[in-house]
Amino acid sequence: MTDRFFIFVPMETINRQECIYIGKILKTHGIHGELTLTTEEGIIDLIEDPDHLFLEIDQLLVPFFFSDENFRIRSANSLTIGFDDIPSQEKANEYKGCPVYISRQFINQQTDETNPNLLIGYELIDTQVGSIGIIEDLHDFSGNMILSVNRDNQEVMVPLTEEFIEAIDQDKKQLIMNCPEGLFDLED
């Protein structure tokens, strides 16, 4: 009898702060497993030569690779993608509705410094309070942009308005704001 052994390599999870939410899988396209992705406003113009995207599955970011010819821009906020590991329409149906992220390395951050999606992963610093935490998400409530910030493992919602922004430091990945007094007073 032959001895068998297995080597388990621990898998590294994808750091969300190194990724940007770009949209979600809307529907399948054709019969060969292609998917239509709807994106956030202005994101398509920022994307530069990606070879993979991340789909959020069970709250984890899972990489899916594709070749250049399988990445086609359809409109200002729509892409068609044929992932290498999704060969059929049946398999593609499993991913409808999945949130899609892209690594920051594939985003041209010099093109549009005002795109709020680029702030995800930045540290929020208030001029009065100091460091608030890391910006984990961005919500659009009827045109009102709200930052979701992790402060001591609690979610803090911060309005993103030009009048509060003091500076954006891209090198340090920091958003410096002068927020209204009392906004960060968390009650137990």
**CATH code of the domain containing 24:** 2.40.30.60
Asked if residue 173 and residue 99 are part of one domain, the reply reads no
In a domain, 1, yes or no: no
Ranges of the chain with pLDDT below 70 = 1-12, 109-115, 186-188
Q: How many domains does the chain have?
A: 2
Asked if residue 130 and residue 70 are part of one domain, the reply reads no
Asked if residue 145 and residue 87 are part of one domain, the reply reads no
Please answer whether residues 108 and 165 qualify as being in contact, where contact means their C-beta atoms are separated by less than 8 angstroms.
Answer: no
Q: Is the pTM for the entire model greater than 0.75?
A: no
Interatomic CA distance for residues 28 and 35, integer angstroms: 4
In a domain, 145, yes or no: yes
In a domain, 8, yes or no: no
**CATH code of the domain containing 127:** 2.30.30.240
Tally of residues, the chain: 188
